[in-house]
């Protein structure tokens, strides 16, 4: 684009820190000191790594390149910022402004990729120490660094080409100390829709993909570290990753903040708070609802934590099935805790408001846990398939490492899917009503209130529902089709009943969870259906987490035996499991009464032994 043709503005005014004239000298001294220290420390580190042959390893090769990127990164903006402290005319040409952003963005995107490469290096060093030098060969290290730089340059070049198409015809004052994209979009007279699409795409490609690589790498690293028997060995392994984890947290944490600032810079939300209606339309039964939901919440916490503790301390329950069950209880505990405490506090609050940040974070955690539970239920179906269809190879197939990988994978994919939605929600604009007719911040209700075009997010919601919901259901259906085929081949009735009973609890949990979830998320958002959404949401956010430990325990002989073993102990397990044990005893007594009644009927005698075996 030629500036004279597409833009009447050829210069911008960088305000910098001109609103603090009394602190000009102090700010200049501080930033100059930081800049000089950054240069000296990074240059010294690069020189030291270059000269010392003991540091000629992949880890320090990546570290020297990170220092080089940091020198260039800080040098793209700081020298000009320092000069502007004492310049009367703080102008920058259009070409200089775009070039400054181009280099700044290139280096930032390259650093994203390099941090992911460094995480992979740590994974290779800790998880495959004997093959480390073979995996992280000098050629691979150079290719990874070169790929990071080229990817960053290419991603920034796309932004530059789009930036050169913008038209600037109004104000030319940039309230910043360098030319950043959010400020340029605020000043533009052109349609910035392309940037609204391109920004989340680049965020996913560079930011979320890099975070996913880092999280997967550290998932394997944590599993490996936990297998180390000595405390000194675990500490040493963790210390090799601590510095990288700190850098990753600082870099990506500030980057997410910048992404939010980009949304705010375009006036993406005029509303900073939402009003959660909750159950205020039932004022006469407010106290009853509070007591009911409080009871459900406390029961859910006690039962799930009790089940986790029981599985943890009982060696007879250290099997893949109960490992997955303990993780399901862990998810259910946090799942209900992401929404219910806020809902309970709203019953007696006059102002039932929630901030925009609090609303998005509540949905982020709620969605992450829900998507993770989808994947975990699919993993549990595969576990049942392996147990019933391949009983002789079960322990070999469902090895401890595979079980941990399946659980970690479920957590990471849930977090990744929710992060994508979070980035899309932060692009929405809310300028009208701020009343959410729900008891928590759910996506359908936010889409109803948004003033922005929600079609892309509607498509994203449907795609994620297909990827997580439908794909998980498909895995479950395929697993159970093999299970049913295997059960039908069992000749004895007792054998078929026993095999089916090991799956009945899981099938019940799957039906309840996916049935209510698909009802809400697999249909378009509309204001008229919010009452039905609220009732369905109560079921899958409050009721199901309470039912899951009961579903998996009431007909489970192993859980009953474990409870009896620890019934008379003084541990916390006994205190946290009394309600569950009480329900189990009621069911056993009821069944025995029915059995005793049937004993008088001669036609029931052949079934008597089978019934006792199932429930005792």
Look up the CATH number of the domain holding residue 250.
1.20.1070.10
pLDDT at 357 over 90: no
pLDDT attached to residue 1: 40
Residue 22 structure tokens: 């009394």
What's the mean pLDDT in 37-53? Answer: 95
CB 314 within 8 A of CB 556: no
pLDDT at 528 over 60: no
91-93 and 273-276: which strand pairing? Answer: unpaired
pLDDT at 215 over 60: yes
Q: Which domain, by its residues, includes 348?
A: 273-576
pLDDT attached to residue 607: 41
User: How much of the chain exceeds pLDDT 70, in percent?
Assistant: 83
Q: Which residue has the higher pLDDT, 414 or 556?
A: 414
pLDDT at 413 over 70: yes
pLDDT attached to residue 578: 54
Taking the CA atoms of residue 66, residue 67, residue 69 and residue 74 in that order, the dihedral angle to the nearest 10 degrees is: 140
Residue 344 structure tokens: 């309970």
pLDDT attached to residue 605: 42
Classified as helix, coil or strand, 16 is coil
Classified as helix, coil or strand, 12 is strand
Q: CB within 8 A of 353, min separation 6: which ones? A: 273, 274, 275, 276
Classified as helix, coil or strand, 435 is strand
What's the mean pLDDT in 390-404? Answer: 92
Tally of structural domains, the chain:
2
210 and 288 housed in the same domain: no
Residue 369: pLDDT band (50, 70, 90) is very high
pLDDT attached to residue 568: 53
pLDDT attached to residue 579: 53
253 and 279 housed in the same domain: no
Q: Which of 265, 292, 314 is the last residue of a domain?
A: 265
CB 107 within 8 A of CB 152: yes
| Range from 196-200, 270-274, 289-293, 473-477 carrying the lowest mean pLDDT | 196-200
237 and 319 housed in the same domain: no
377 and 416 housed in the same domain: yes
Taking the CA atoms of residue 296, residue 302, residue 308 and residue 313 in that order, the dihedral angle to the nearest 10 degrees is: -160
Residue 267: pLDDT band (50, 70, 90) is very low
Per-residue pLDDT reduced to its tens digit, 298-311? 999 999 998 998 89
260 and 278 housed in the same domain: no
Query: What's the whole-number average pLDDT of the chain?
Result: 82
Residue 603: pLDDT band (50, 70, 90) is very low
* 473 vs 522: CA distance, rounded Å: 14
Per-residue pLDDT reduced to its tens digit, 544-600? 899 888 888 876 788 878 877 776 554 544 545 555 555 556 555 665 655 555 455
User: How much of the chain exceeds pLDDT 90, in percent?
Assistant: 36
pLDDT at 149 over 90: yes
391 and 532 housed in the same domain: yes
240 and 311 housed in the same domain: no
Q: Which of 223, 242, 265 is the last residue of a domain?
A: 265
Classified as helix, coil or strand, 57 is coil
350 and 424 housed in the same domain: yes
Q: Which residue has the higher pLDDT, 582 or 608?
A: 582
306 and 169 housed in the same domain: no
Residue 266: pLDDT band (50, 70, 90) is very low
* 352 vs 442: CA distance, rounded Å: 16
pLDDT attached to residue 592: 61
Q: Which residue has the higher pLDDT, 6 or 541?
A: 541
* 533 vs 520: CA distance, rounded Å: 6
* 293 vs 238: CA distance, rounded Å: 42
* 533 vs 538: CA distance, rounded Å: 9
pLDDT attached to residue 6: 45
Residue 581 structure tokens: 């044990």
| Range from 8-22, 70-84, 114-128, 300-314 carrying the lowest mean pLDDT | 8-22
Per-residue pLDDT reduced to its tens digit, 68-83? 999 999 999 999 999 9
CB 74 within 8 A of CB 35: yes
* 64 vs 42: CA distance, rounded Å: 8
Q: What global pTM score does this model have? A: 0.61
pLDDT attached to residue 339: 92
Asked whether residue 589 is assigned to any structural domain, the reply reads no
CB 43 within 8 A of CB 71: yes
550 and 464 housed in the same domain: yes
289 and 250 housed in the same domain: no
Helix (H) or strand (E) holding 592: helix 578-599
211 and 279 housed in the same domain: no
pLDDT attached to residue 193: 64
Contacts 24+ apart (CB under 8 A), 236-243: 237/126, 240/59, 240/122, 240/125, 240/126, 241/122, 241/126
Length of the chain equals 616
Per-residue pLDDT reduced to its tens digit, 470-506? 889 999 999 999 999 999 988 888 888 888 888 888 9
Asked whether residue 600 is assigned to any structural domain, the reply reads no
């Amino acid at each position: 684009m030629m500036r004279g043709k597409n833009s009447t503005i050829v210069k911008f005014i960088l305000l910098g820190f001109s609103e603090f004239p009394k602190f000009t000298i102090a700010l200049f001294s501080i930033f100059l000191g930081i800049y000089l220290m950054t240069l000296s420390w990074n240059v010294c580190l690069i020189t030291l790594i270059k000269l010392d042959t003991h540091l000629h390893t992949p880890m320090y090769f990546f570290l020297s390149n990170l220092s080089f990127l940091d020198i260039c990164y800080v040098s793209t903006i700081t020298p000009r910022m320092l000069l502007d402290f004492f310049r009367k005319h703080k102008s920058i040409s259009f070409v200089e402004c775009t070039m400054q952003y181009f280099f700044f963005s290139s280096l930032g995107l390259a650093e994203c990729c390099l941090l992911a490469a460094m995480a992979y290096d740590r994974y290779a060093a800790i998880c495959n120490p004997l093959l480390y030098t073979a995996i992280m060969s000098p050629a691979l290290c150079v290719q990874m660094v070169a790929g990071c730089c080229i990817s960053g340059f290419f991603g920034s070049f796309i932004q530059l080409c789009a930036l050169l198409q913008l038209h600037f015809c109004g104000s030319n004052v940039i309230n910043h100390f360098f030319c950043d994209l959010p400020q340029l979009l605020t000043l533009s007279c052109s349609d910035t829709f392309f940037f609204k699409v391109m920004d989340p795409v680049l965020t996913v490609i560079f930011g979320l993909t890099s975070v996913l690589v880092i999280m997967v790498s550290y998932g394997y690293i944590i599993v490996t570290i936990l297998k180390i028997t000595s405390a000194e060995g675990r500490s040493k392994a963790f210390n090799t990753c601590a510095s990288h984890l700190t850098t990753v947290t600082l870099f990506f944490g500030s980057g997410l903040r910048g992404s939010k600032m980009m949304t705010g810079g375009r006036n993406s939300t005029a509303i900073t708070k939402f009003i959660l209606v909750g159950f205020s339309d039932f004022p006469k039964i407010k106290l009853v609802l509070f007591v009911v939901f409080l009871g459900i919440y406390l029961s859910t916490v006690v039962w799930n934590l009790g089940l986790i503790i029981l599985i943890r301390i009982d060696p007879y329950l250290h099997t893949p099935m109960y490992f997955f069950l303990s993780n399901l209880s862990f998810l259910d505990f946090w799942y209900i805790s992401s929404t219910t405490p806020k809902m309970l506090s709203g019953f007696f609050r006059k102002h039932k408001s929630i901030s925009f940040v609090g609303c998005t974070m509540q949905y982020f955690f709620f969605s992450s846990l829900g998507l993770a539970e989808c994947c975990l239920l699919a993993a549990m179906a595969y576990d049942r398939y392996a147990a019933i269809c391949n009983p002789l190879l079960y322990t070999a197939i469902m090895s401890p490492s595979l079980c941990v990988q399946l659980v970690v994978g479920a957590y990471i994919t849930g977090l990744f899917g929710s992060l994508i939605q979070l980035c899309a929600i932060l692009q929405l604009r809310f300028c009208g009503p701020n009343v959410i007719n729900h008891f928590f911040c759910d996506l359908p209700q936010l889409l109803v209130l948004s003033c922005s075009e929600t079609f892309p997010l509607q498509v994203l919601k449907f795609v994620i529902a297909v990827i997580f919901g439908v794909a998980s259901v498909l895995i479950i259906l395929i697993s159970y089709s093999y299970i049913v085929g295997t059960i039908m081949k069992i000749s004895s009735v007792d054998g078929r009943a026993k095999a089916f009973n090991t799956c009945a609890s899981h099938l019940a949990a799957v039906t309840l969870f996916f049935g209510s979830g698909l009802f809400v998320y697999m249909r378009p958002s509309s204001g008229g259906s919010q009452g039905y959404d609220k009732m369905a949401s109560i079921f899958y956010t409050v009721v199901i987490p309470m039912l899951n430990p009961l579903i998996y325990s009431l007909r489970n002989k192993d859980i009953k035996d474990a409870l009896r073993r620890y019934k008379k102990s003084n541990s916390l397990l006994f205190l946290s499991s009394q309600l569950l044990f009480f329900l189990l005893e009621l069911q056993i007594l009821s069944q025995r009464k029915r059995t005793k009644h049937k004993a008088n009927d001669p036609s029931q005698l052949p079934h008597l032994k089978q019934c006792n075996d199932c429930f005792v």
